Amino acid sequence: MSKQNTTSLQRVLTTLGHNEPDRVPLFLLVSMHGAKELGLSIKEYFSRAEYVAEGQLRLREKYHHDCLYNLFYAPVEVEAFGGEVIFADDGPANSGRPIITRPDDILSLKVPIIKETACLMKVLDATRMLKEKAADDAPILGVVLSPFSLPVMQMGFDKYLDLMYGNPELFNRLMEINEAFCVEWANAQLEAGATAITYFDPLSSPTITTRDMFLKNALPIAKKTISQIKGPNGIHLASGRSLSVIDDICEIGTGIIGVSVMEDLAEVKKACRGRIAVLGNLNGIEMRRWTPQQAEAIVKDAIAKAGPGGGYILSDNHGEIPFPVNKLCILVCQHYRREAEEILKSEEWNDVKVVTYSARCGVPNTSVEYLEPALSTCEKDDDVFVLSGSCISDPEKISLMRPGSSNIKHIQFSKQHQCFSMFLGHEIIEDLTGKGFYLVTPGWLSTWKQKIESWGFNSKEKTPELINFFKESTQCIFLLDTGVDEKSNKLLLEFAEFVDRPFDSL
């Protein structure tokens, strides 16, 4: 078959056989992201299997990655045991109150009956729908939490550690319950159409667990559990380190290991070569700040390190990419554009953009309608933050000013008594203005001639009326020099001489 006709499943199988496919497969492990594609809240999105299946299909069509992912949310397994799930509007669901509040609760804990557990049946229904739609074009990844790692959500990290080290009898009992559930749950997903099972086991990572505890508990549990899963599987340490346990994990018989950004990918690939395929290790947190150029360079570096010889799948390092945060659109007066842009540049905030509105100095209480041209340049899903002085009135009306403005869902307004408060404390400003200092900034100075004209004077002629206008109220022209314009001192001198006032700067 030609490379042009290679399916995602064929591409993945080729690399898992430690041969080079037409290109390195990409596993984009997106879960809640389908909610945005369907215009739903995250909680509503996960309320129906049809939504999740459609979301996965749309995401793959949009990004052209090589898998489908049936993960709803990690706490679904705790929910199956009767636990609480807390949904967020902009991030993954979390476990609520632990279902095990004291060790003796383990004695009454029962393995959930899958066909009687609504949250699990939704996952299976979504898996069947994905199988029906995708057939064998792309692998469908099922998900289970390891018996060794699940108790962090069942009872809390601190109590689980106490149990692990202080009560081996009840610890073993909990592992038996979780193992039985894990095996049954994995096999149910395979039966529903999942191609392979992702065995998430972050606690097995040396980032969290000592080697002694890993050899005593985590490794034997993984071996026993995975041996009962009736289909292909891979182990994922969910951003935890793996190098020191790769040899041990290779003994389990699993086909893939998800590895961490905290370790050198070339070293990981060297340790795994020919024995187990590598999945990873892009930084899912940092990637939302990458420029397209940075993303391309980082991906190329990962492929160069791990791609040769096959046995590599490009993915993030955790198994779940954070929900995309809306871009921030900052509205500032045109006089402060360069200051805002310099801050963004120094902090490398690539997901923030600056939009300016025309200055209205000397015209206080301008209606919020005046901001409409600037707001129209923000995207409808942007978080909008408006910085202003006293020039804009009624900021609470900003979202009501026009029917179309409802497209901008999140608007915050920071109104200062004076614009200079963005650079100096209020008391200092009051002290300077009380002494008759006329405060200016680089942005204001760049348009000083236009300001003279707006006051009704001729900017080309130094008149007695203008001199008297300033002499009556101004002792000194005082520049708050933010360093964004090398011409500011020259402009300060020009303006001060034109109005016949002394000058200074800070």
Q: Is residue 341 in some structural domain? A: yes
Identify the domain containing residue 382 by its residue range: 328-415
Long-range contacts for 216-224 (Cβ within 8 Å, ≥24 apart)?
Answer: 217/148, 217/164, 217/171, 217/175, 218/146, 218/148, 219/245, 219/248, 219/252, 221/146, 221/147, 221/148, 221/175, 221/179, 222/146, 222/148, 222/249, 222/252, 223/251, 223/252, 223/253, 224/179
pLDDT at 211: 94
Considering the domain architecture, whether residues 288 and 373 belong to the same structural domain is answered as no
Are 297 and 432 in a shared domain? no
Establish if 420 belongs to a structural domain.
Answer: no
Q: Which residues are CB-contacts of 19 (< 8 A; sequence separation ≥ 6)?
A: 309, 310
Cα–Cα distance measured from residue 90 to residue 64, given in angstroms and rounded to the nearest whole number: 24
Which residues on neighbouring strands pair with residue 153, listed in sequence order?
none
Examine the domain organization and report whether 207 and 296 are in the same domain.
yes
Facing residues of 281 across strands? 315
Q: Which residues contact 247 (CB under 8 A, 6 or more apart)?
A: 271
Query: What CATH number did the domain enclosing 114 receive?
Result: 3.20.20.210
Compute the average pLDDT of residues 73-92. Answer: 94
The reply to whether 445 and 383 lie within a common domain is no
Beta bridge partners of 145: 200
Same domain, yes or no: 7 and 27: yes
Closest to 374 measured CA to CA, from 417, 340, 324: 340
- Say if residue 32 is exposed, middle or buried (CB neighbours under 10 Å; 0-12, 13-18, 19+): buried
Instruction: Give yes or no: residues 365 and 441 share one domain.
Output: no
Which range is least confidently modeled, 180-189, 193-202, 246-255, 328-337?
328-337
Same-domain status, 309 and 186:
yes
Two structure tokens written together for 146: 């390891």
Domain boundary among 354, 381, 415: 415
> The whole model's pTM is what?
0.70
Average pLDDT over residues 43-64: 96
Task: Compute the distance between CA of residue 322 and CA of residue 325 in angstroms, rounded to an integer.
Answer: 8
Domain count, the chain: 3
Query: Does residue 191 sit in the same domain as residue 260?
Result: yes
Residues 184 and 71 in one domain: yes
Give the pairing type, strands 94-95 and 85-86: antiparallel
User: Where is the domain boundary, 415, 442, 476?
Assistant: 415
pLDDT, tens digit (0-9, with 9 covering 90-100), for 110-154: 999 999 999 999 999 999 999 999 989 999 999 999 999 999 999
401 - beta bridge partners?
Answer: none
Looking at the DSSP assignment, which residues form a beta bridge with residue 198? 143, 234
**Domain annotation covers residue 421:** no
Residues 398 and 445 both lie in one domain: no
Residue with the two structure tokens 């994995």: 186
Residue 115 lies in a domain: yes
Answer yes or no: is 98 within a domain: yes
> Are 87 and 43 in contact, with CB atoms under 8 Å apart?
yes
- Could you tell me if 309 and 358 lie in one domain? no
Of 139, 37, 127, 26, which is closest to residue 76 (Cα–Cα)? 127
Chain segment 221-279, per-residue pLDDT in tens: 999 999 999 999 999 999 999 999 999 999 999 999 999 999 999 999 999 999 999 99
Residue 344 amino acid letter: L
Q: What is the DSSP string of 240-301?
A: ---GGGHHHHHTTT-SEEE--TTS-HHHHHHHHTTTSEEEEEE-TTGGGG--HHHHHHHHHH
In a domain, 321, yes or no: no
In a domain, 400, yes or no: yes
Indicate whether 349 and 476 sit together in one domain.
no
Whether 323 is in a domain gets the answer no
Using only the alpha carbons of the chain, give its radius of gyration. 30
200 DSSP β-pair partners = 145, 236
Considering 268, 289, 316, which residue would you say is the last residue of a domain?
316
